[in-house]
């Protein structure tokens, strides 16, 4: 019998690549979720079992999760919490309402689905939970305060959950992705335009010289950037290995910042990340 995995955020990017790869891989049945009905219909036309699940909406999360379980006769062997978005901008320019909104998706929605998955997996006696975090879940980076805060919260929840589930048959892993091929930058632009009035910021000149150019201009591949396949490969290890890792450091940038946070004093780490 094929194992089932629920993947969130499958309309494009890393979620879509993971879903398509596992859909073709022997032994897995993919339950793909998308926020928009039209994206779900498109994936169904490709042969996917797909549900509509808006991770930022409590009712949609509950309904989408139950729809996924109905497709799999109540079985859930793995969940990959991939859905999330970025909100660029300096910390002092991020309104509280914007922070609440990004946490609703990146933290609260992820946590809600995780709790629902844990309940199913406890009844089964086994399961794999994979949370999509970031190098920014380990260190901060200028212009990324909202996203960094949300991923630090995910790290804290996930590390605690992993300890609490020891011996339960449920394994918990974190994917710490650095620069990867996706629509992440483009998808963050509407959130930036909605919430950040950068022209009125005390840092307007810095925005103009740095962040705005980076957002709106295609500057090519970032240093250490990897393609989607590198992320999916770690996901496969996390859900198939008899001994999955607690944390997967993906891209050279992630390895560098993880090493730096362990060996450098705080002042040295601050200097290093401020150079980017």
Catalytic machinery residues: 147
Q: For the beta carbon of residue 129, count every other beta carbon within 10 angstroms.
A: 25
In sequence order, which residues have a C-beta less than 8 Å from that of residue 9 and are 6 or more positions away? 15, 33, 34, 35, 55, 82, 83, 84
Q: How far is CA 103 from CA 16, 85, 89, 151, 222, in A?
A: 22, 10, 15, 9, 26
Residue in 67, 29, 72, 33 with CA at minimum distance from that of residue 50: 33
Q: Report d(CA 120, CA 104) in Å as an integer.
A: 23
> Pairing mode, if any, of strands 170-177 and 49-52?
unpaired
Structure tokens at 74: 């109540």
């Amino acid at each position: 019998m094929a194992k089932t995995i629920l993947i969130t955020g499958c309309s494009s990017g890393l979620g879509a690549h993971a879903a398509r790869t596992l859909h073709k891989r022997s032994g897995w049945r993919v339950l793909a979720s998308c926020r928009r009905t039209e994206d779900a219909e498109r994936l169904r036309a490709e042969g996917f079992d797909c549900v509509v699940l808006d991770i930022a909406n409590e009712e949609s999360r509950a309904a989408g999760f139950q729809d996924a379980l109905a497709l799999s006769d109540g079985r859930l062997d793995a969940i990959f919490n991939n859905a999330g978005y970025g909100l660029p901008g300096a910390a002092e320019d991020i309104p509280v309402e914007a922070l609440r909104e990004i946490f609703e998706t990146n933290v609260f929605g992820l946590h809600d689905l995780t709790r629902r998955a844990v309940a199913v997996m406890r009844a089964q006696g086994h399961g794999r939970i994979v949370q999509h975090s970031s190098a920014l879940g380990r260190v901060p980076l200028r212009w990324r305060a909202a996203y960094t805060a949300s991923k630090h919260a995910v790290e804290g929840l996930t590390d605690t959950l992993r300890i609490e589930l020891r011996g339960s048959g449920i394994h918990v892993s974190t994917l710490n992705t650095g620069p990867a091929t996706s629509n992440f930058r483009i998808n963050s632009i509407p959130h930036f335009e909605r919430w950040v009035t950068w022209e009125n910021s005390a840092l307007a000149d810095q925005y103009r010289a740095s962040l705005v150019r980076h957002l709106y201009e295609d500057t090519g591949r970032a240093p250490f950037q990897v393609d989607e396949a590198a992320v999916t490969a770690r996901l496969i290890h996390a859900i198939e290995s008899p001994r999955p890792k607690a944390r997967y450091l993906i891209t050279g940038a992630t390895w560098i910042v993880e090493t730096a946070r362990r060996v450098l004093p705080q002042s040295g780490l601050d200097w290093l990340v401020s150079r980017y």
